[in-house]
Structure 1
Amino acid sequence: MSRFKLFLENILVYGLGGVISKAVPLLMLPIITRLMPDTFYFGLNDISTTIVSFGSAIAVMGMYDAMFRLFFDSEDEAYRKTICSTTLAFTMGLSILVFCILIIFRETWAQIFFSDRKYTNLLVLSAMSILIGATNSIVSAPTRMRNQRKVFLVTNTLSPIISYAISIPLLVKGMYVIALPLAAVVSALTIEIIFAILNHSWFSIKRVNFSYLRPLLAIAIPLFPNFLVYWVFNSCDRLMISQMLGMDYNGIYAIGGKVGQVSQLIYTAFAGGWQFFAFSTMKDKDQVDMTSHIFEYLAAIAFGAGILMAACSKTIFRILFTGDYVQGYTVAPYLFLAPLMLMLFQVIVNQFIVIKKTWYNLLALVIGALVNVVLNYILIPLIGIEGAAIGTLVGYIVSIVITATILIRMGLLRISYKFYVLSFSLLAYFLLWRFAMRDLLLIPLAIAIFILVEYCFLFRKDIKQLIKNK
């Protein structure tokens, strides 16, 4: 099998399940916004999601990846069951601790996150999602580690279906505050029960052996800061908007982010297959050139998609949404590009993992996150929610620039003139769109198509080679 086919096959197989789980919420978004007419409530739900993502990162603390890694150290089934059982015991204990801290001080946390103590019920639901979600990731792990693809695909499809089957009737009844969070709790619990039944033989109290915690934590703890930094990129802007501008503006921003996250489908598919491909080819003699080419190819796809999103953003929002939700078009292009920038970052940062110098990864991410937060403080008061979106995108770009600069000096990455042409065209287009074409369609769309043709011309030899090999 050629490396190209290996790359595509892994993306299609392992990325499909994640894509399905994200595609359903995107398709349901216009319905949800019509049932929830006030952006204020959508903003509340978005902050709840932010709390869950942060709490889950603390509760899991990188143990999923650590368990995944140690699972394959030995083919002895007893050893593998001990690793799974010990991981679940630790994660469950930490999840309960996080849950209790949120519940005991729920009024204080509600005031901090939602700016009002009356939303303690929403805080409780968020805490329950953390408790269930963190342990769910561990209970479901044996399914992925045993490569049971059909189960993975079915459960990823079933989860959002259950969630919306519960939330839509609640929204119809006007229960705007708790509809989505409550549905998320029930859906997660249902999926966890399914996995608990399927994988019960892999977990047992008798098999818990805390002597294995040391090797597990040795892998998990260094990964933990990365999760926190990613949370800053993905969630900090929501908290800052809600505090600086109000929950209704956060609702508009959240909708822009949801539509912008259509690109998450590309990123999720890529992430599902990239890791295996990257490590299976890391010893190839032309590994540096291969990685550099993939980086440029994906950059062309990402930049081209981002330009098209900017051109069509306002039209898309006018078709899908009504009222204040339409204003989300101002942030969607930036938030569409952000996950794709993360994809590009992960392509090249893998070179640090290959040479076992992963602290460069954290350094680049931390600097990018700091830039993101600083820009948020500066731009949100000046240009509103668009400032937060710009801050997020620029933060990822800074991380990529730092990583690429270090790798080029180390001889682990080569950047050709093509990438500079791609970058310049993206920057020029976004500046033109922002200051002169944001409310238009035909002119920005015509320019976008011209740029895409330019991209095809740049990579004409590669495209011909791809067609020839096919």
Structure 2
Amino acid sequence: MGRRKELAKNTAILTIGRVCTQCINFLLLPFYTAMLSTGAYGTFDLMLTYSMLLLPLVGWQLHQGLFRFMLDDRQNTARHTVLFSTLLFFSVIQCGAYLAVFALIQAVVHVEHAYFLLVYVILQVFNAMLMQFVRGLGKSVVYTIASFIAATATALFNVLALTCFHGGLTGLLVSTLLAQSLTLLYLLAASGCRNYLSLRCIQPAIFKQVGAYSIPLVPNNLAWWVVNASDRTIVSYFLGAAANGVYSIANKFSNVFVNFYNILNLSWAETVSLHYTDADRDEFLTETMNAMFQLFAAGCFGMAACMPFFFPVFIDAKYHDAYPQILILLYAMLFRVLVGLYSCVYVAQKNAKKIAETSISAAVINIVVDLLLIRKIHIFAASISTLAAFLILFLVRYRDVNRTVHMKLKRSVVVGCLLMGGCLLYTYYCGNRRIQAGALVLTIGYAIGANWEMLRMGARFVRSKLHTK
């Protein structure tokens, strides 16, 4: 029970900041879709997408290695100093090399808005390093505030750039850089990293040790980029930037859903790593994983059931072609949740190679399906290829993980999800508001029934706190 309380506490802290930021982003969707053409929004989305491609190539995922190795010695300040000083030093060197290579390429090939790709990636390298550093120290509140600042400042500066300064695409890019700079300043001030910096503690052997774990994650992250971004690239190439703008809006809703999982995943990865050697490991992982999956399945189906009523109100009519894609992408992200729940076992085992191998296979599937279908079913090819990639990746990791750890989905959970998902597959596209309203009521009933025990536990916890006061 202590492990679940620990998981719930960490998740609750991280959720507070993310809920606020997601609400802000949701409320701003009507603004973005009204102020920007589909082409301008599609170009902005591509700039962010390509930045995410460059990030693992420049940073070598050292921030992930920093967090994982800090977990092994959470109370050892001297060890943390060696890890942080070493990895930050080599990150500075890598960013310097990136700057030099970028300048050479830019001198030969002119890339529009190249400054954004340069500055944003470097800011992200150091933000990611400090974010994982505070996580490794157990400072979840600092992590949450930094996430909140990043999202809130980005939204605020974007609004100012578009309304007060009429900056258009350039204004969006510059305001996004300012928001990331503000986040970095906060992390430098709040993390206490100055106390963990020492040139004398820089050890190449530590860089080599952490790099052996982190560098195999680079192809893994590139594979994730391919899964997430190849769709946008292929859509833009074959169908144009305007089509990519429509597809980007469709992804906003599924991204909101998966971002809530990413909050829990931060705590889940930490919990699995800390308790991987417990005697009752298999029982704990199985019960907790099934409970979490049911919770997110209910969230996925709830978003899908609300979408027929929500989408026409919040999204400008010129983006109406995004609606048919949303359900497919939501189901794809539900499989991504399953992938993440099982991937944490690889993290606990420090088996980065297996993470990379399975992710690369999913990336190949995504590209092949997308290219085969893009001329026949247009934007649907991007959504379906994403769903296929995550479905197959889940099946591969499910089978592989259960060779060493007993962590199976319960039959009742699978059957319930299949029935509810199949029902929504019809009601979502039928266009009948009465049937869709009935599906919403049914989804609420499913959510309550599937998560009844969790709801009871939450109610008992609230009552105990009220009685204590």
Q: TM-score range by the shorter chain?
A: 0.7 to 0.9
Q: Could you tell me how far apart the structure 1 residues matched to 2:72 and 2:280 are?
A: 28
Cα deviation, residue 279, structure 1: 3.0
Residue 42 of structure 1 is matched in structure 2 by 41
SS of the residue 1:330 aligns to: helix
Task: Name the residue aligned to 1:164.
Answer: 155
Partner residue in 2 for 1:418: 412
- Kindly indicate whether the alpha-carbon contact (under 8 Å) linking 2:70 and 2:137 is maintained by their aligned counterparts in 1: no
In the TM superposition, residue 249 of structure 1 has moved relative to its aligned partner by: 0.8
Note if contact 2:258-2:337 (Cα within 8 Å) is conserved in structure 1: no
Q: Secondary structure at the match of 1:271?
A: helix
**Structure-2 change in CA distance of 1:149 and 1:307 (3 Å):** closer
Which residue type is aligned with residue 305 of structure 2?
A: A
Structure-2 separation of matches of 1:303 and 1:41: 34
Q: Following the alignment from structure 1 to structure 2, what is the Cα–Cα distance between the partners of residues 165 and 352?
A: 38
Please report the RMSD computed on the Cα atoms of aligned residues, expressed in angstroms.
3.0
Q: Give 2:207's aligned residue.
A: 213
d(CA) in 1 for partners of 2:441, 2:448: 11
Aligned partner (choices 247, 264, 271) of residue 270 of structure 1: 264
User: Is the counterpart of residue 231 in structure 1 residue 225 in structure 2?
Assistant: yes
Tell me the number of residue pairs that the alignment of Structure 1 and Structure 2 aligns: 457
In the alignment, is residue 98 of structure 1 matched against residue 98 of structure 2? yes
Q: What TM-score does the superposition give when structure 2 sets the normalisation length?
A: 0.86
- When residues 318 and 132 of structure 1 are mapped into structure 2, their CA distance, relative to the original with a 3 A threshold, is same
Equivalent residue for 2:442?
450
Task: Decide whether the 8 Å contact of 2:328 with 2:384 is kept in 1.
Answer: yes
Counterpart among 183, 190, 202 of residue 191 in structure 1: 183
Structure-2 residue corresponding to 1:203? 197
Per-residue CA distance 1:349-373 (angstroms, 9 max, x = gap):
3344556655443333222222222
Normalising by structure 1, report the TM-score.
Answer: 0.86
User: Aligned equivalents of 1:107 and 1:12: distance in 2?
Assistant: 48
Judged with a 3 Å threshold, the aligned counterparts in structure 2 of structure 1 residues 164 and 349 are, in CA distance, closer, same or farther, namely closer
Find the aligned partners of 1:202 and 1:467 in 2 and give their Cα distance. 39
SS in 1 for 2:215: helix
Amino acid at match of 2:104: I
1:166 alignment partner AA: F
Relative to 1, partners in 2 of residues 1:168 and 1:420: Cα closer, same or farther, differing over 3 Å? closer
Distance (whole Å) between structure 1 residues aligned to residue 71 and residue 414 of structure 2: 41
- Give 2:52's aligned residue: 53
- Residue deviations 1:108-147, cap 9 Å, x none? 77xxxxxxx6xx3422212210012112222454433333
Contact 2:213 2:350 in 1 (8 A): no
Q: Could you list the per-position Cα deviations for residues 39-91 of structure 1 after superposition, in whole angstroms to 9, with x for gaps in the alignment? A: 10000000000011111121221201222234455556454333212211211
SS in 2 for 1:414: coil
Structure 1 range deviating more: 252-261 or 334-343: 334-343
Partners in 1 of 2:131 and 2:340 — Cα distance? Answer: 25
Deviation of the 1:16 alpha carbon: 3.5
Aligned partner of 2:85 in structure 1 is 85
Cα deviation, 1:200-226, whole Å, max 9, x if unaligned, reads 343355543334321121221122222
Q: Which moved more, 1:138-147 or 1:252-261?
A: 138-147
Matched, 1:383 2:382: no
Q: 1:305 to 1:281 in 2, by over 3 A?
A: same
Corresponding residue of 1:4: 4
Aligned pairs (5 A) from 1:68-467 = 68-71=67-70, 77-106=77-106, 120-172=111-163, 173-198=165-190, 199-205=193-199, 207-354=201-348, 359-408=353-402, 412-429=406-423, 431-433=425-427, 437=430, 439-450=431-442, 453-454=445-446, 457=449, 462=453, 466=457
Once the two structures are TM-superposed, the CA of residue 457 in structure 1 deviates from its matched residue by: 4.9
- How far does residue 252 in structure 1 lie from its aligned partner after superposition? 0.9
Query: Is the alpha carbon distance of 1:386 and 1:304 closer, same or farther for their aligned partners in structure 2, counting shifts above 3 Å?
Result: farther
Distance 1:272 1:184, change over 3 A: same
The whole-number CA distance in structure 2 between the counterparts of 1:58 and 1:353 is: 20
Q: Cα deviation per residue 1:304-354 (whole Å; 9 max; x = unaligned)?
A: 333333333243221012131232222222333434322222222334455
Mark the runs of 5 or more structure 1 residues left unpaired by the alignment: 110-116
Q: Equivalent residue for 1:113?
A: none
Distance change in 2, residues 1:440/1:140 (3 Å): same
